[in-house]
Every structure is written in C-alpha cells, then in structure tokens.
Copies of this chain bind each other. A is one copy, B any other.
Amino acid sequence: MVTEDPNAGLADDPKVQYCESWRLAVETNNAGEWKKVPSRCVDVVADYIKGPQYLTDSKMVARLSHAYAKTVKLAGDDRDVWIFDVDETLISNFLHYTVHGYESRMSNETAYDQWVYTGKATALPWSLWLYRKLQSLGFQLVLLTGRKEHHRNSTEQNLMAVGYRSWKKLILRESLDATKTAMTYKSEKRAELEAEGYRIHGSSGDQWSDLLGPPMAKRSFKLPNPMYHIP
C-alpha cells in the first residue's frame, strides 16, 4: 500500500486523481452541501460527461435498476410506482451548462428558464432504455421534478420529442413549494403518493435530494452528476 504524509494538502495531488476523488465524494454524498465544481476540475467534469465513462456509468445504473425491477412482484392494480427525476436523470442539460456554467441553474434562473423553454434537452439513452423496460414490466412511472409549473408545457414537449411517450403523473413545483429544499418537497410528494395508495418500489435521480428523506423508495438509484448540487 502506498504511504504518504497525511499532512500534505489535497492540492498537492495530481489533478485527475484529485478530481476523481472529488467526483466520488459527490456521488457518495460525502461532499455534502457543495456549491460549485472546483475550478481545477471544470474541464475534467466536461471530459467525463462527453466521454465514454459517463455513458458506461449510466448504463450500469440502468442495468442494476432493471435487474431489481424484474424481481418486484407487481400487484396489477396500477399502484406499483417507479419515480424518475427529470433533469440529468431522464434528459441532459449539458448543452446549456457548457455555455452558462455548471452552477447556472441556481445562479442565473433567467438563462435556465429560457433554456427550458427551448425544449432542447437531449435524452439520456440508458434512462430511456430503463424507462421503456419499466413500462413493459407494468410499472406506473411518476416524474417528480424541481422544475416549476410554468415549465409544464415545455417539459412535456421536450420529454415527448426525445422518446418519453407517456407517464402516470408529472409533478412540478408549485408556488407554495418554492421556498422548500428539493429534499423536503420531494419527500412530501412521495408521502402524498403513498397516502394515495401507491407503492414506491424504485426511485432514480442524479441528486441525493431526489432520493433521501422519509418516505424513501424501497430501492433508490443514484445517477451520476458531477456538474451541480441541489440541496
């Protein structure tokens, strides 16, 4: 095993090695409430998203989700649910973030709104694959997003244009949810779904705030996203 002086700073580590560790810290939620991609990792993150590893990582999550989904016994009463987040889970906004910076959703809401209205987000191919597999298995698909009600039309059009053809519900943030964290808002919506009799077997999201907080899905699947953090 390599030994090293533990008092040496992280800044001394080779860049790619450091950025890989930082990305792992984000994906495991060890990073907690992080604000922005470390400046030395901005291009490492772009290379990751554009390259084959992001696709293979996404494929692995989709395959594992599907393997689990196949073990679920569905009651056949249309109450067996799988929840998907939208941004960076079903569709990719990478084209927007390359222009405006990874933190632009939070820092420049006008630019983000304009981007959403264009409806030009692309499908994440392995999420689309999983989506269709789950529909074939008989799951009810619920889309639960931090996008706002005024994004409903453009979101629906974008999703349909890239191949997501139908869903049970598309839940968007209403005005009264505006001040809540994503974790609180999404937990409340899962609680409402359960109160309506839905059984939440699985949940897929690129943020831990998509997945954590009571009640949780029976299995949660964290998709990679080293670009931004939503609390």
Contact = CB atoms under 8 A, between A and B. Distances in A.
Given A6-B128, A21-B57, A24-B27, A219 B64 contact: no
Interface in A13-53: 13-14, 17-18, 20-22, 24-25, 27-32, 49-53
> Most chain-B Cβ atoms within 10 A of its Cβ — which of A21, A122, A129?
A21
A25 B64 contact: yes
Given A6-B126, A56-B20, A31 B1 contact: no
A63 interface: yes
Given A24-B57, A59-B6, A1 B122 contact: yes
Nearest to A28: B222
Nearest to A65: B30
A176 interface: no
A114 interface: no
A47 B122 CA distance: 36
> Most chain-B Cβ atoms within 10 A of its Cβ — which of A50, A55, A68?
A55
A7 interface: yes
A161 B86 CA distance: 51
Given A1-B50, A2-B51, A10 B125 contact: no
A146 interface: no
A25 B60 contact: yes
Contacts of A122: 1
A52 B20 CA distance: 11
A196 interface: no
10 contacts: A1-B54, A1-B92, A1-B122, A2-B50, A4-B125, A14-B52, A17-B53, A21-B60, A24-B24, A24-B60
Smallest CB-CB A-B distances: 4 pairs: A6-B129, A21-B60, A28-B222, A21-B56
Given A21-B53, A30-B221, 9 more contacts: A1-B55, A6-B62, A6-B125, A6-B129, A17-B56, A21-B57, A25-B60, A25-B61, A30-B65
